[in-house]
């Protein structure tokens, strides 16, 4: 979610000003990830910088690249009043173009993240982090209310967050559009941020072939099986042609990122096959393409089951792909 397009308008008004993104938000909401994303987008990124040092950092000629500064409660002189005062002071100076990016997250999700990582909250060294989460939320409320860009990361993966930030903080407005091709399982819901979505569940399912079931759509034998479906070739061609037809129009509209999703039952065979082949086709056509297989990522990150001496089943009998 974005408050408005103030950052885009402010930067377009004076390209000679030092572009500066001040990144803040509650601990655990994704500030560090956002800093890394902005660095990948071409920003000079500095995390956990004391507020009192920001003016000294900005002294001198305008840098050739924009700056991204991570500011949070770990800073020894951090407070909402100090950050607001700093932002107001920089806004009044024509040589600077500051934008406040606020990464927010639900209290429930923040608590879950702290419990999963077992990291202590910066505002509380011992005990449950809930009180510290609530205290920090109250502390940051004035900044949240005045943020130029507000992104709620409660349901965003790092990949989704990168796509969102790329849309708002691209350093080269005229640069080549990037395409993200994704596979997913409908059973786990549709990924956030898809611009185009295609259902692959009508294609022949390798799940019902015992030798293919443990494999996924990155495997050549699985791809051959899916491609052997008489409907596959025409389906693939129509989707590819549609993408190649619309991509230049998205560039003309100034879009920086386009997400194309393919879904099937389990997100393992058919959707992965389509995503792999489509990413390859678009890359060969000259587009900058990234690929993501959501369900395969979840499976790879899942902890291994405890060895209790019994044979573990690799796949549940009903987990179609």
Eight-state DSSP code of residue 52: G
> DSSP letters along 199-268, please?
E-TTS--GGGSTTTTTS-TTSHHHHHHHHTSTTHHHHHHHHHHHHHHHHHHHHHTT--EEEEEEEESSSS
Residue 31 assigned to a binding site = yes
Residue with tokens 């009192």: 52
First-to-last CA distance in the chain?
32
At 271, phi and psi to the nearest 5?
-65, -35
pLDDT at 296: 92
Residue 28 assigned to a binding site = yes
Residues 6 or more apart whose Cβ sits within 8 Å of residue 212: 206, 219, 221, 222, 225, 269
Q: Which uninterrupted H or E stretch holds 178?
A: strand 178-185
**CA-based nearest residue to 183, from 321, 14, 74:** 321
pLDDT at 183: 96
* Residue pair 103/23 in contact by the 8 Å Cβ criterion: yes
CB count in 10 Å sphere of residue 209 = 14
CB count in 10 Å sphere of residue 138 = 10
CB count in 10 Å sphere of residue 198 = 20
Residue 195 assigned to a binding site = no
Residue 72 assigned to a binding site = yes
Strand partners, 183: 262, 293
Q: What is the mean pLDDT of each run of 10 residues along the chain (321 residues)?
A: 41 64 89 88 87 84 85 79 88 86 90 72 67 86 88 84 79 67 93 90 97 96 97 98 93 78 97 97 90 87 46 38 56
Residue 216 assigned to a binding site = no
Residue 26 assigned to a binding site = yes
pLDDT at 273: 98
Edge-to-edge strands of the sheet including 196-199? 196-199, 257-264, 178-185, 288-293
Residue 23 assigned to a binding site = no
pLDDT at 312: 35
Neighbour-count burial for 247-283, b at 16+ CB within 10 Å, e otherwise:
beebbeeeebbbbbbbbbbbbbbbbbbbbbbbbebbe
Domain span(s) for CATH 3.40.50.300 in the chain: 6-169
- Could you tell me how many helices (H) and strands (E) the chain has, helices first? 11, 9
Q: Which CATH class is domain 6-169?
A: alpha beta
pTM over 0.85: no
Residue 74 assigned to a binding site = yes
* Residue pair 267/321 in contact by the 8 Å Cβ criterion: yes
* Residue pair 223/200 in contact by the 8 Å Cβ criterion: no
pLDDT at 253: 73
């Amino acid at each position: 979610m974005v408050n408005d397009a103030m950052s885009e308008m402010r930067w377009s008004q004076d390209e000679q000003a030092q572009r500066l993104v001040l990144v803040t938000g509650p601990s655990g909401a994704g500030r560090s990830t956002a800093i890394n994303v902005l660095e990948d987008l071409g920003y000079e990124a500095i995390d956990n910088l004391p507020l009192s040092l920001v003016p000294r950092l900005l002294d001198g000629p305008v840098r050739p690249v924009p700056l991204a500064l991570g500011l949070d409660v770990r800073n020894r002189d951090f407070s909402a009043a100090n950050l607001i005062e700093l932002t107001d002071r920089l806004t009044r100076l024509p040589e600077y173009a500051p934008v406040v990016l606020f990464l927010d997250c639900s209290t429930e999700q923040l608590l879950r993240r702290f419990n999963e990582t077992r990291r202590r909250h910066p505002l509380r060294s011992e005990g449950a982090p809930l009180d510290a989460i609530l205290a920090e939320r109250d502390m940051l409320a004035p900044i949240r209310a005045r943020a130029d860009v507000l992104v709620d990361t409660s349901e965003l993966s790092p990949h989704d967050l990168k796509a969102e930030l790329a849309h708002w903080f691209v350093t080269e407005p005229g640069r080549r559009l990037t395409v993200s091709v994704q596979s997913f399982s409908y059973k786990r819901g549709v990924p956030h941020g898809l611009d185009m979505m295609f259902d692959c569940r009508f294609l022949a399912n390798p799940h019902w072939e015992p030798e293919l079931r443990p494999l996924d759509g990155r495997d050549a034998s699985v791809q051959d099986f899916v491609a052997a479906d008489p409907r596959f070739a025409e389906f693939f061609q129509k989707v590819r042609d549609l993408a190649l037809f619309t991509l230049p129009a998205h560039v003309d509209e100034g879009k920086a990122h386009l997400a194309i999703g393919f879904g099937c039952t389990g997100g393992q065979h058919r959707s992965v096959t389509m995503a792999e082949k489509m990413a390859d086709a678009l890359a060969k056509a000259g587009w900058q393409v990234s690929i993501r297989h959501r369900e395969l990522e979840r499976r790879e990150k899942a902890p291994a089951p405890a060895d209790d001496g019994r044979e573990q089943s690799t796949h549940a009998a009903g987990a179609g792909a």
